[in-house]
């Protein structure tokens, strides 16, 4: 049975709101609508209804559903990656502590219901929209991978992490984070031995660290 159209979160008349606030409201609404219905089924009129504006107003800011999706990703996902990059640049502690902190930040972000719904869109639909898939890969997946690579490279340089010949380590952490967040969200109640989120992320960190930490012999 198809999902019911999202309901508007604000009853304030649109002419009472500042015009400069409208793009953010539209992007918030798009995040909800895309997450609930998927990209293919999402309609601009549903986004407009949820944002409390007319369909024409949406088109004043975004000329297509594709451009709305891109800007929504930039505002709600890429912006969070930029914050994480700034955090990595400013960190002055050990690489191990930095890796743990970055892992926790990424998990907390991915564990949000809307982010998990977006991940399902990426996995299930973007193969049918190659230009959007290319966009998402470069703006989000590749950028997240490079962020982890920077942390790992710092650890290798300091002798905390072991150097590896392959390039799977950063990919592996991103994959573990996405899979763990999805399992916790969608299948937690089905699991007779379910873990709490704290247990899940602690287990992920422990497993991953034991894969990248240098052994005592490697540090001598």
Task: State pLDDT tens for residues 38-88.
Answer: 999 999 999 999 999 999 999 999 999 999 999 999 998 999 999 999 999
pTM of the full predicted structure?
0.83
Residue 49 Cα distances to 1, 8, 53, 76, 124, angstroms: 21, 6, 6, 20, 26
Is 103:208 a contact under the CB 8 Å cutoff? yes
Q: Can you tell me the distance from the alpha carbon of 111 to that of 69, in angstroms, rounded to the nearest whole number?
A: 20
Is 116:179 a contact under the CB 8 Å cutoff? no
Instruction: Give residue for tokens 């002419």.
Output: 15
Q: Which residues are registered as beta bridge partners of 161?
A: 213
| CATH number for the domain running over 69-219 | 1.10.357.10
Fold of the 14-61 domain:
Arc Repressor Mutant, subunit A (1.10.10)
Q: Can you tell me the distance from the alpha carbon of 135 to that of 198, in angstroms, rounded to the nearest whole number?
A: 33
* Domain range annotation of the chain: 14-61, 69-219
Task: State pLDDT tens for residues 125-184.
Answer: 999 999 999 999 999 999 999 999 999 999 999 999 998 877 899 999 999 999 999 999
């Amino acid at each position: 049975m198809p999902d019911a159209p999202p309901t508007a979160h604000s009853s304030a008349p649109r002419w009472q709101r500042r015009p400069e606030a409208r793009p953010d409201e539209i992007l918030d609404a798009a995040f909800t609508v895309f997450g609930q219905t998927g990209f293919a089924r999402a309609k601009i009129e549903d986004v407009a209804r949820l944002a409390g504006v007319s369909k024409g107003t949406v088109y004043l800011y975004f000329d297509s559903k594709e451009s709305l999706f891109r800007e929504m990703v930039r505002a709600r996902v890429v912006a969070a990656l930029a914050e994480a990059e700034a955090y990595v640049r400013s960190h002055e502690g050990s690489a191990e502590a930095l890796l743990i902190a970055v892992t926790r930040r990424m998990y907390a972000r991915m564990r949000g219901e809307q982010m998990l719904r977006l991940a399902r869109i990426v996995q299930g639909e973007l193969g049918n929209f190659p230009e959007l898939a290319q966009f998402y890969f470069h703006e989000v997946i590749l950028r997240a991978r490079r962020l982890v690579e920077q942390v790992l490279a710092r650890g290798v340089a300091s002798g905390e992490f072991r150097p590896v010949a392959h390039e799977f380590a950063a990919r592996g952490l991103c994959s573990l984070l996405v899979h763990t967040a999805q399992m916790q969200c969608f299948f937690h109640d089905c699991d007779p031995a379910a873990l709490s989120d704290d247990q899940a992320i602690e287990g992920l960190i422990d497993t991953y660290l034991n894969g990248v930490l240098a052994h005592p012999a490697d540090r001598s």
